[in-house]
Amino acid sequence: MRPSAAARLKPRLLSLLHEVPRGRVTTYGTLAACLGVSARLVARVMASLSEAEAEGAPWHRVVGAGGVLRTAGGRQAERLRREGVGVSARDRVEGFARLLFTPSAEG
């Protein structure tokens, strides 16, 4: 059977995610543009990651447009700060423009 678009996108997204170096961040829209899908779909895939997948991928380096953390729980800010990325109390990545990383389209 044909897997859903999200399931099809998952491995590709995870692969792209590994291109984001430690201490840098990227956005849903940026990844979406590289993959040729909508940012919404990228978000859906991220939200559907299993525990194991989340452990093996730097999902915390993906933030919303403008450097705003859109994740629930606040675990992302903790992980980012641990690798040197400053996050304000308002869930904003400090120096976002400077830290933004744009992976090259795979293929």
Binding residues (CB under 7 A) for DNA: these are 4-7, 27-29, 37-44, 46-47, 49, 54, 59, 62, 64-66, 68, 70-72, 76
CA 40 from centroid of its chain's CA atoms: 12
Smallest gap from residue 69 Cβ to DNA (A): 9
Smallest gap from residue 13 Cβ to DNA (A): 11
Smallest gap from residue 11 Cβ to DNA (A): 15
Angle formed by the axes of helices 39-47 and 28-35, to 10°? 110
Q: How many CB atoms lie within 10 A of CB 65?
A: 12
